[in-house]
Amino acid sequence: MNSNEVDQPNVVVFDTTLRDGEQAPGCSMRKQTKLKVAHALDALGVDVMEAGFPAASPDDFAAVQLIASELSRPVICGLARATEADIEKAADALSPAQQRRIHIFLGSSPLHRRFKLKMSRDQVLERAVKAVEFAVATGAQVEFSPEDALRTEHDFLFELLDAVAAAGATTLNVADTVGYSTPVEIRQLFGRLHQRFAGRDIVLSTHCHNDLGLAVANSLAAVEAGARQVECTINGIGERAGNASLEEVVMALRTRADHFSVTTKVNTEQIIATSRLVQSAIGVPVQRNKAIVGRNAFAHEAGIHQHGMMTNPETYEIMKPEHVGLDRSEMVLGKHSGRHAVRQRLDMLGRGLPEEAFEALFVRFKTLADQGLEVTDDDLLELLGDGVATQQWQLDNVQLGYTAAQAIASVVLSDGTEKRLQAAFGSDAMEALVRAITTAFCLNPEGLEVRSQRVERDSENHAEAWVEFSLNNVCYKAFARGRDSVMAAGSAALRAVNRVVTEGLPNMRRPDQFQTSLSVGE
Ligand code: MN
């Protein structure tokens, strides 16, 4: 929150990561994972949390109920179709919550009325009003969403919203369900709604999808015209191209408070932690250049940028990384980084060097960076010979061989104190290597998928590889680059395995209990 701007109106942040986000393919979460994310959203300070769609499945019901009983600060919301059965389910699941909201949706556009609902305008109106009255009687706050509102005739949309407001809905969520609107169009619509409901105890809400990449722009345009609730998700996950991304909306409102003149109650310092939790909960990473939370969002690798940044960060930074909870030391060093950046990083690590020693280190740094790799603090310390590395396991040696039908890989892995030797077969060298690495830790991955692609960059042939598998129903994905696809796949597998070793898995033996690997002493 911008404490110096408390007199500015507040925009309610309605998070639907656990509902709209979770229902997207590849983003489903189990109950305990949802609870973990819910706690993170609570710490983040969202006002309303849509915890699920209780009538959708017994699992969804149980997750909403669990979140409603565990969290006390935010309003907990459950989605319901405009039927008594759905509303009763939602009310039941929400009953342990301190503050409950039932979110009712019903198609309003001609397409939805005709082809999905087979209902006339009057029938839609009547069903909506009955549903809202029924929900109000449960004692919960009631939010109503005309589904596909942005493709609904304005006269009917207004008639419908008037009617549900009269029936007791206090939040009117004008949903751009299919991501069709544009900023100018949605600003005009919210301008008219704002006038229509002025002076009444009604919150106008926006719910935008990103099919045309406009979800955040449209949400902000709605806020400009008077919307006081934004529905959004962490990392922008959600149906199809996703929902408006919470972190982008919130940071736009904060960074350009001069323009929007509103505030939110979000603790922006929690953004990175929440984003990373959601990425690992669903096993779907955000793209590197994703605004606010992508790994490159605050990285200024190019030497000339880094020099400017060090003189005054505002030369290239409109937001401070600390404001989203990012440690400045995560600034990336790479092949474009100059002496200045490397020297500063060493100083920051308390390892400043005399000129000659620095030059020698810089040459080794460039050699490493020229392989197309990022150079982390740990890498730098390793170059210095500190060997502090990382308790993590690394690939010491790889050998590949082939039989008529299969490939075989043998690996030597070490974590600095212990070595493991393991061999495994696979249908190709990439799979054999990945299997050797996972087998060294007694892991038996299910649904193993290994993909790679060549990357032509600066006349060097690099490869990128993705490794994906699940263990005890938890999905692990990792990505890495390497000098060829096999080595990239090996690095990716090692990253995934390191995650398993660091975080542990239910029913997993601790690393010191692994038995089948062969110790081959130092
Ligand atoms: Mn949606």
Q: How far is the CA of 302 from the centre of ligand 1 (A)?
A: 39
* 360 Cα–ligand 1 center, Å: 56
- For residue 121, the CA-to-ligand 1 centroid distance in Å is 22
Question: Any idea what the CATH number is for the domain that residue 465 is in?
Answer: 3.30.160.270
Establish if 434 belongs to a structural domain: yes
Strands (E), 88-165: 100-107, 141-147
What's the 85 CA to ligand 1 centre distance in angstroms?
21
Identify whether 1 is part of a domain: no
Neighbours of ion ligand 1 (CB under 5 A): 20
Q: Are residues 401 and 379 part of one domain? A: no
Instruction: Tell me which of 355, 386, 417 is where a domain ends.
Output: 386
Asked if the structure places residue 3 within a domain, the reply is: no
Residue 332 DSSP label = P
Whether 519 maps to a domain, the answer reads: no
User: Ligand 1 centre and the CA of 243: distance in Å?
Assistant: 7
Question: Distance from the CA of 128 to the center of ligand 1, in angstroms?
Answer: 18
Q: List the structure tokens of 139.
A: 């004692």
Q: What is the pLDDT of residues 233-278, one digit of tens each?
A: 999 999 999 999 999 999 999 999 999 999 999 999 999 989 988 9
Could you tell me if 133 and 243 lie in one domain? Answer: yes
Report CA(178)–ligand 1 centroid distance (Å): 8
**pLDDT tens sequence across 469-521:** 888 777 776 667 678 889 889 988 988 888 777 666 644 433 333 333 333 33
Domain range enclosing 382: 299-386
The residues, ordered by sequence, that sit 6+ positions from 189 with a Cβ below 8 Å of its Cβ are 150, 154, 174, 181, 225
CATH number, domain of 214, equals 3.20.20.70
- 30 and 88 part of one domain: yes
pLDDT digits (tens, 9 = 90+) for 326-371: 876 556 677 788 888 888 888 766 677 888 889 988 987 887 777 6
> How many A from CA of 177 to the centre of ligand 1?
5
395 and 412 together in one domain:
yes
Looking at 371, 386, 401, which one is the last position of a domain?
A: 386
Instruction: Identify whether residues 200 and 252 lie together within a single domain.
Output: yes
Q: Bridge-partner residues for 173, per DSSP?
A: 205
Q: Are residues 223 and 306 in the same domain?
A: no
| Ligand 1 center–CA 47 separation, angstroms | 18
Q: How far is the CA of 244 from the centre of ligand 1 (A)?
A: 10
CA of 256 to the centre of ligand 1 (A): 26
Q: From the CA of 20, how far away is ligand 1's center (Å)?
A: 5
Q: Are residues 278 and 347 in the same domain?
A: no
Q: What is the pLDDT of residue 6?
A: 55
- Same domain for 31 and 138: yes
User: Pairing between strand 75-81 and 203-208?
Assistant: unpaired
Final residue of a structural domain among 336, 358, 386 = 386
Both 146 and 247 in one domain: the answer is yes
Question: What is the distance between the alpha carbons of residues 506 and 484, in angstroms, rounded to a whole number?
Answer: 34
Q: Where are the beta strands (DSSP E) in 158-274?
A: 171-176, 203-208, 229-232
State in Å: Cα 235 to ligand 1 middle: 15
Q: Is residue 403 part of a domain?
A: yes
Tell if the pTM clears 0.85, that is, is over it.
no
What is the 87 CA–ligand 1 centroid distance (Å)?
18
Shared-domain flag, residues 330 and 446:
no
Do 374 and 402 share a structural domain? Answer: no
**SS3 per residue for 397-438:** EEEEEECCCCEEEEEEEECCCCEEEEEEEECCHHHHHHHHHH
- Split into its structural domains, the chain has a count of 3
Q: Residues with Cβ < 8 Å from 403, sequence gap 6 or more?
A: none
If asked whether residues 321 and 426 sit together in one domain, one would say no
In a domain, residue 289? The reply is no
CA–centroid distance, residue 105 to ligand 1 (Å): 10
The residue ranges of the chain whose pLDDT is under 70 are 1-6, 300-306, 308-310, 328-332, 348-350, 371-374, 376-379, 381-383, 385-391, 455-462, 477-479, 481, 502-522
